[in-house]
């Protein structure tokens, strides 16, 4: 079987043979302002493009073209524009081969053809979509189109001629031909944001695409995204997360991972709602429905569903293990800290240990029978100060006053639904129980125990005042590692200082990002490696009594 690519020696050959049965067109772009890529007029002259038609036997010779273009004056756009115009000027039913020395342009075109959602917000997205449309039109007529990579500045006559034409256009007179190209309606990161200067005055600063945006503060980025695309998922996530008391330094810790670029891209896809599930595929005609293939109820298929609500045995089990592991990650430093504060203490954890391959995975109620008789609620973490597990239950009012309860529950969800998740947790109840999580603290206090509660301001970071501290703590974690001030309040109430809380939240952030990446990879493996399955199965069922994945 002949391999579809040439041998290395043939690739290095300057006299490499091109397909004899089609027209050959060489394209190139030139930017006289490199490496600054400035706008026209800033450092000199705009970019130029060149299209060269070599003389070949049996093919009609066309006139070479040297031209400029509108829009952003970057070398990337110059190369793409030259390819686009060369394709546009050719007949749709004639075979053609486009030769360019820009590997970046070929990779971007390939990405647009195979995964169009990845170039939706690209700086030159409209131009890339126009190239893809021309290629599709040529494919529909049965014509063959080849996009070839040639070595630049390697004495290849056609490429050198196209390069000379591009330089002529960029360095030539103002009467050089200027052509129109598809333009983006919205520049995603070209915006104005308000900031405070050294004198304490609020000034408006124009941030240009590129490094200015990357070096801007988190607050400036939030303002940027909201102004550039106010109706996008990214803008909604940024606005609602900030209102929920988001801790930006901890929540964006995955950006510091230098090697794992796949993880970074996945986290931003999930946050912006551009992950390619069935709901997203339907927008590009790659699926005929928006529901999950692995759920019997047909839920809306996006990343939030896969990471929080999918009922498939494998995915649901991974989400449960994520919750259980996070709960034990929180419990470990509390155990190491609590014994220093008082002689008698007990920490009861309601989370399985199957992720650690522990055979002893029995779950026990976290609210003792002597504290609230008949209570079937099982919060994830219950710290009891002043009472040891092997001690007799307290009976007298004096013994009850020496006991203090600190109760918390762990939950995972979308980063922009923190407030809704906290409120939903407080109303959580179990079958056969008349009490909810919001009733635990008042009931304990009515029985004579001390109980540390939280109000809406500490849990939701809201401006609500005058509320009673009667709610249990909620350790809320986003599926992409979002961390909130309320989590810090709850951890400090459980005997961890500020530094220990910060270190623990950093570990939880990495855990959330890593488990989300593994779950998404498992979902892709199910799509390409096996038939859809709904619900549990005999080998890996979802146990009815398993801990709530959040």
What digits encode the pLDDT tens for the residues 280-291?
888 777 788 888
Torsion from C-alpha of 438, 406, 250, 357, nearest 10 degrees: -100
- Read off the tokens for 257: 């991972």
Give me the mean pLDDT over the 327-334 stretch: 92
Please name which of 81, 72, 79 lies closest in space to residue 37, comparing C-alpha atoms.
72
Q: How far apart are CA 415 and CA 344, in angstroms?
A: 38
What digits encode the pLDDT tens for the residues 82-98?
999 999 999 888 889 99
Give the model's pLDDT for residue 543.
Answer: 36
Please name which of 384, 333, 350 lies closest in space to residue 508, comparing C-alpha atoms.
333
Question: Is residue 396 pLDDT above 50, yes or no?
Answer: yes
Question: 27-41, 46-60, 300-314, 391-405: lowest mean pLDDT where?
Answer: 27-41
Residue ranges and CATH numbers for the domains of the chain are 8-179 (3.30.420.10), 331-513 (no CATH)
Tell me which range, 82-86, 259-263, 529-533, is most confidently predicted by mean pLDDT: 82-86
Q: What's the whole-number average pLDDT of the chain? A: 78
Question: Is residue 259 pLDDT above 70, yes or no?
Answer: no
Give the model's pLDDT for residue 223.
Answer: 60
Give the model's pLDDT for residue 218.
Answer: 54
Question: 51-65, 356-370, 456-470: lowest mean pLDDT where?
Answer: 456-470
More confident position, 474 or 40: 474
Give me the mean pLDDT over the 250-260 stretch: 74
What digits encode the pLDDT tens for the residues 158-178?
899 999 999 999 887 667 888
Tell me which range, 9-23, 162-176, 215-229, 487-501, is most confidently predicted by mean pLDDT: 487-501
User: Kind of pairing, strands 404-413 and 450-452?
Assistant: parallel
More confident position, 521 or 416: 521
Give me the mean pLDDT over the 504-528 stretch: 92
pLDDT > 70: percent of the chain: 73
Angle in degrees, 0-180, between the axes of helices 75-89 and 157-171, rounded to the nearest 10: 110
Give the model's pLDDT for residue 21.
Answer: 72
Q: How confident is the model at residue 240 (pLDDT cuts 50, 70, 90)?
A: low
Instruction: Report phi then psi at 109, rounded to 5.
Output: -65, -40
Give the model's pLDDT for residue 33.
Answer: 72
Spatial CB neighbours of 101, under 8 Å, sequence gap ≥ 6: 28, 149, 150, 151, 152, 153, 159
| Cβ 289 vs Cβ 314: under 8 Å | no
Q: How far apart are CA 468 and CA 103, in angstroms?
A: 63
Side-chain-side CA neighbours of 131 within 13 Å: the count stands at 28
DSSP of 456-519: HHHHH-----S--S-B-EEEEEETT---BHHHHHHHHHTT--HHHHHHHHHHHHHHHHHHHHHH
Question: Is residue 549 pLDDT above 60, yes or no?
Answer: no
| Cβ 380 vs Cβ 445: under 8 Å | no
What digits encode the pLDDT tens for the residues 18-55?
666 778 899 999 988 765 444 444 455 789 999 999 88
User: How is the chain split among helix, strand and coil, in percent rounded to 5?
Assistant: 40, 15, 45
Spatial CB neighbours of 440, under 8 Å, sequence gap ≥ 6: 367, 372, 375, 377, 379, 407, 451, 472
More confident position, 504 or 457: 504
| Cβ 29 vs Cβ 164: under 8 Å | no
Side-chain-side CA neighbours of 86 within 13 Å: the count stands at 30
Spatial CB neighbours of 275, under 8 Å, sequence gap ≥ 6: 266, 269, 302, 303, 520
Give the model's pLDDT for residue 322.
Answer: 93
Place of tokens 């909201």: 226
Give the model's pLDDT for residue 523.
Answer: 92
Spatial CB neighbours of 259, under 8 Å, sequence gap ≥ 6: none
């Amino acid at each position: 079987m002949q391999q579809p690519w040439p041998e290395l020696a043939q690739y290095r050959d300057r006299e490499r043979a091109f397909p004899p049965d089609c027209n050959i067109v060489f394209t190139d772009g030139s930017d006289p302002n490199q490496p600054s890529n400035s706008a026209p007029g800033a450092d000199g002259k705009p970019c130029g493009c060149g299209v060269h038609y070599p003389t070949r036997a049996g093919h009609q010779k066309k006139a070479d073209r040297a031209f400029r273009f509108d829009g952003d004056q970057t070398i990337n756009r110059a190369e793409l524009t030259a390819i686009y115009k060369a394709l546009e000027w050719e007949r749709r039913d004639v075979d053609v081969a486009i030769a360019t020395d820009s590997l970046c342009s070929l990779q971007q075109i390939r990405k647009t053809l195979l995964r169009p959602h990845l170039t939706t917000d690209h700086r030159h997205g409209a131009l890339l979509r126009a190239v893809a449309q021309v290629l599709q039109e040529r494919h529909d007529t049965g014509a063959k189109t080849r996009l070839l990579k040639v070595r630049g500045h390697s004495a290849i006559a056609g490429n050198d001629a196209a390069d000379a034409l591009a330089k002529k256009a960029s360095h030539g007179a103002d009467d050089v031909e200027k052509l129109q190209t598809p333009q983006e309606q919205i520049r995603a990161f070209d915006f104005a944001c308000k900031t405070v200067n050294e004198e304490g005055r609020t000034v408006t600063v124009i941030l240009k695409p590129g490094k200015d945006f990357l070096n801007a503060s988190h607050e400036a980025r939030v303002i940027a995204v909201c102004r550039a695309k106010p109706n996008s998922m990214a803008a909604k996530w940024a606005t609602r997360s900030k209102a929920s008391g988001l801790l930006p330094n901890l929540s964006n810790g995955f950006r510091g991972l230098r090697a794992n670029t796949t993880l970074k891209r996945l986290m931003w896809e999930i946050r912006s709602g551009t992950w390619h599930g069935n709901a997203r595929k339907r927008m590009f005609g790659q699926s005929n429905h928006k529901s999950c293939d692995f759920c019997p109820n047909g839920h809306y298929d996006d990343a939030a569903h896969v990471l929080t609500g999918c009922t498939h045995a494998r995915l649901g089990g991974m989400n449960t293990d994520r919750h259980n592991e996070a709960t034990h990650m929180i419990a470990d430093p509390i155990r190491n800290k609590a014994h220093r504060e008082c002689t008698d203490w007990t920490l009861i954890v309601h989370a399985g240990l199957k992720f650690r391959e522990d055979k002893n995975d029995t779950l026990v109620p976290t609210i003792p029978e002597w504290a609230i008789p008949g209570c079937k609620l099982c919060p994830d973490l219950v710290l009891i100060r002043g009472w040891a597990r092997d001690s007799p239950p307290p009976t007298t009012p004096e013994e009850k006053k020496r006991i203090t309860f600190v109760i918390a529950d762990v939950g995972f969800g979308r980063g922009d639904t923190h407030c809704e998740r906290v409120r939903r947790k407080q109303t959580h109840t179990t079958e056969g129980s008349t009490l909810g999580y919001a009733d635990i603290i008042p009931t304990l206090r009515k029985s004579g125990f001390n109980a540390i509660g939280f109000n809406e301001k500490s849990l939701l970071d809201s401006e609500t005042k005058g509320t009673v501290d009667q709610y249990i703590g909620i350790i809320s974690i986003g599926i992409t590692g979002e961390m909130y001030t309320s989590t810090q309040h709850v951890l400090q109430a459980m005997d961890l200082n500020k530094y220990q809380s910060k270190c623990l939240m950093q570990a939880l952030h990495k855990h959330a990002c890593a488990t989300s990446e593994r779950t998404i990879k498992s979902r892709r493996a199910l799509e390409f490696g096996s038939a859809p399955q709904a619900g549990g199965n005999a080998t890996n069922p979802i146990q009815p009594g398993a801990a709530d994945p959040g």
